[in-house]
Amino acid sequence: MKNDSHLEAKTLGIGKAIAVLTSGGDAQGMNAAVRAVVRVGLFTGARVFFVHEGYQGLVDGGDNIKEANWESVSMIVQLGGTVIGSARCKDFFERSGRLKAACNLVKLGITNLCVIGGDGSLTGADTFRAEWSSLLADLQKEGKITEEEVKKSSYLNIVGLVGSIDNDFCGTDMTIGTDSALHRIIEIVDAITTTAQSHQRTFVLEVMGRHCGYLALITSIACGADWVFVPECPPQDDWEDHLCRRLTETRCRGSRLNIIIVAEGAIDRHGKPISSENIKDLVVKRLGYDTRVTVLGHVQRGGTPSAFDRILGSRMGMEAVMALLEGTPDTPACVVSLCGNQAVRLPLMECVQVTKDVTKAMQNKKFDDAMKLRGRSFQNNWDVYTRLAHVKAPTVSQVKNVVAVMNVGAPAAGMNAAVRSSVRIGLIQGNHVLVVHDGFEGLAKGQIEEVGWTYVGGWTGQGGSKLGTKRTLPKKLFKEISANITKFKIQGLIIIGGFEAYTGALELMEGRAKFEELCIPYVVIPATVSNNVPGSDFSVGADTALNAICMTCDRLKQSAEGTKRRVFIIETMGGYCGYLATMAGLAAGADAAYIFEEPFNIHDLQANVEHLVQKMKSTVKRGLIVRNEKCNENYTTDFIFNLYSEEGKGIFDSRKNVLGHMQQGGSPSPFDRNFATKMGAKAMTWMSTKIQESIRNGRVFANSPDSACVLGMRRRALIFQPLPDLKEETDFEHRIPKEQWWMRIRPLLKILAKYDTDLDTTEHAHLEHVKRVSGDSTSP
């Protein structure tokens, strides 16, 4: 099957031509998508054309439509905006403009169009396709094209990729550019937080989102804001009183600042706009707080794309080429979307219609409908925000359970956000919440304390582990741990950490046979830069590490621009798991990524060196090699560096960089903050229910397989998986899952680096329908 599909992919584009354009507002990550469309298109044997300046370039033709080659898209993956330009085009709205565009495409033999833009751009593309036959008939009548040209261009295939920082397109969890916009916003919020604390100020921050509150909502979760205004869910009529009460309560709890996030399209229940200045005036007048407004504006569109957007753009670009080349006259125009971590194809106009329905519902003040139409992902985020921000903790008399929260293993950015949401949701549900310092060692030594609401204040944006974390496993400490579970009356344990958290929970389960005290529910939240915990496609902390690696790779590549003919060999963390090396390689535009899961030998190394020798003869005189720290015990980073140095003598210089613990440090990315917050909330909710289910004769007794779980993201949903079920899926010797979803992305990395490789087209997405798509989503 693989060989057949490989041959098919290599020849799928022969005799065909693809054009790619970016339209509407620019978004970071568009360049990664353009690069992938060009290179995957060339890989399949197709000719690929740039259309400069969006639809305007399509109408004007001439030099605006240029054939692209491999080197045309070198060194663009890390650039913001769009290198082929974008423009608002009135001409394309008129049939006369579309006639010119059709003529330009027919003359160049282009019958496949990839449009990267928002819903307006994609609607225009669908109209163009629907009119294609009549446009060609008119052009033939006018003598502008021949009958032969009409036959060759009898139908037009359209595939859309959604590039929009607002994440306002229904049918996809994330649009290209959204994650990068969140990075810009969070950088600013973090900076403002420090000055606000110094002066005990209230800050009102206005973010983009005229018809969609996604950026505002995720920002509020990622920074622990006091209040958020979004157009989909306006506040109740007495919101002014409620807001002032909330701000006062926050100050009374000891906080020195207030943060209010406002989407630019925020409205009240009657459709009247709520501006950031209105809110400032209200707070100053009613409370007398020193209040400042910051309108973020176009800074949100700018800057370098995040690792997430580079990978998203690259994956979507490859999927778009496959969808175009597999298209027939009967295939509806589709849009390539992200659902969970899966690429899916959806009918373009179904998505556009649902997107328009949201705006219509808001205009008609049917806000519940607007929320439902936004999809499950948006609703889940809203639920988490409201639970953490809008609910008062119950009084002591209502307290039900005693739950302990702990960190285990190496630190990972986002651990603190998971602890914070676990603690606060636990308190809201009426539990006593304990925190354990220094992992299982602390649990054995009794380093345990009960905490309240303010204990975890401001933790969302802090890196590392505030509770302290160690790699010690519990097996040799069962006696002491059991004694402390009894002493502190612990009824459930939330373990946030990496592979040690997973194996530690398994050990606790096995210890139940000898120690009855260990018969309490456990849940593991995967948090490790290595992303190697079985049962979850993503771990808290991996996205932050990935961005740290990308930033370093960008700087190294930039340094090579001056010297030319330089190859960098970079070593990443990950243990035996090649996730970081593979994804960083894809996001940074690496020439090769060596990992343990894909064995390599001296012939492969030789082929890579030869590949770089050839590359140095082109206009691109830089190389980037990523090596996972444990990919091979003999082919070490030093060995590979020495090999490249020797073989590249006189052709290129080699440099090596071991990135080390910088990958574990830093402030968590918006993705990790949001993902950790959702995981913590979901874990505590499950725990409260599981404890109640496990009460026997007045005390907790849990020894069934489903009383100890890993909470993980699987394809399209957050699910709880019993630990015993995951044992079969685990390679304990190498501390990795036996099957890893991201291995299927590796051929794309090789194709984008110009290797002749297998591309199994059987893995590609099939057309689905909008209504069927739902899930908890990986989107930040």
From CA 442, how far away is CA 65, in angstroms rounded?
65
User: For the residues of 336-400, what is the DSSP string, one character each?
Assistant: EEEETTEEEEEEHHHHHHHHHHHHHHHHTT-HHHHHHHH-HHHHHHHHHHHHHHS-PPPPGGG--
Whole-angstrom distance, CA of residue 98 vs CA of residue 104: 10
Strand 157-162's sheet: what is its strand order? 65-67, 47-51, 17-22, 112-117, 157-162, 334-339, 342-347
Cα 258 to Cα 246, 427, 458: the distances in Å are 10, 21, 11
DSSP annotation of 767? B
Furthest-apart CA atoms within the chain: distance in Å: 91
Task: Report which DSSP code applies to 739.
Answer: S
Q: Is the separation of the CB atoms in 546 and 586 below 8 Å?
A: no
Contact (CB, 8 A) for 495 and 406: yes
Which of 36, 179, 54 has its CA nearest to residue 121? 54
How many CB atoms lie under 10 A from the CB of residue 468? 17
Q: At what angle do helices 670-693 and 214-223 cross, to 10 degrees?
A: 70
Q: Select from 217, 679, 719 the least CA-distant residue to 422.
A: 679
Q: What are phi and psi of 369, to 5 degrees?
A: -65, -40
Distance between CA 287 and CA 246 in Å, rounded? 11
Place of tokens 């602890």: 419
CA 215/CA 164 separation, integer angstroms: 11
Non-local CB neighbours of 516 within 8 Å, separated by 6+ positions: 701
Q: Confirm if 529 and 664 have CB atoms less than 8 A apart.
A: yes
- Residue 646: other Cβ atoms inside 10 A: 10
Instruction: Provide the 8-state DSSP code for 10.
Output: H
Cβ–Cβ under 8 Å, residues 694 and 521 = yes
Contacts of 699 by beta carbon, 8 Å cutoff, 6+ apart: none
Q: Which of 406, 414, 691 is nearest to 538 (CA)?
A: 414
- Measured between its terminal Cα atoms, the distance across the chain in Å is 36
Using an 8 Å Cβ cutoff, are 533 and 524 in contact? yes
Q: How far apart are CA 406 and CA 334, in angstroms?
A: 46
Residue 730 burial (C-beta neighbours within 10 Å; 0-12, 13-18, 19+): buried
Phi and psi at 168, nearest 5°, equal -105, 15
> Which tokens belong to 155?
């139908």
Q: Residue 496 has which token pair?
A: 């946030």
Q: What is the distance between the alpha carbons of residues 668 and 674, in angstroms, rounded to a whole number?
A: 10
- Which residues lie across from 494 on neighbouring strands? 405, 523
Q: Say whether 333 sits in a helix, a strand or coil.
A: coil
Do 229 and 216 contact (CB within 8 A), yes or no? yes
The single residue of 60, 126, 166, 537 carrying the catalytic annotation is 166
Question: Is residue 322 within 8 Å of 764, Cβ to Cβ?
Answer: yes
CA distances, 746 to each of 473, 509, 582 (Å): 34, 36, 7
543 flagged as catalytic: no
Question: What is the DSSP-derived secondary structure letter of residue 21?
Answer: E
CB of 236 closer than 8 Å to CB of 200: no
- The number of residues in the chain equals 780
Catalytic positions, written as ranges = 166
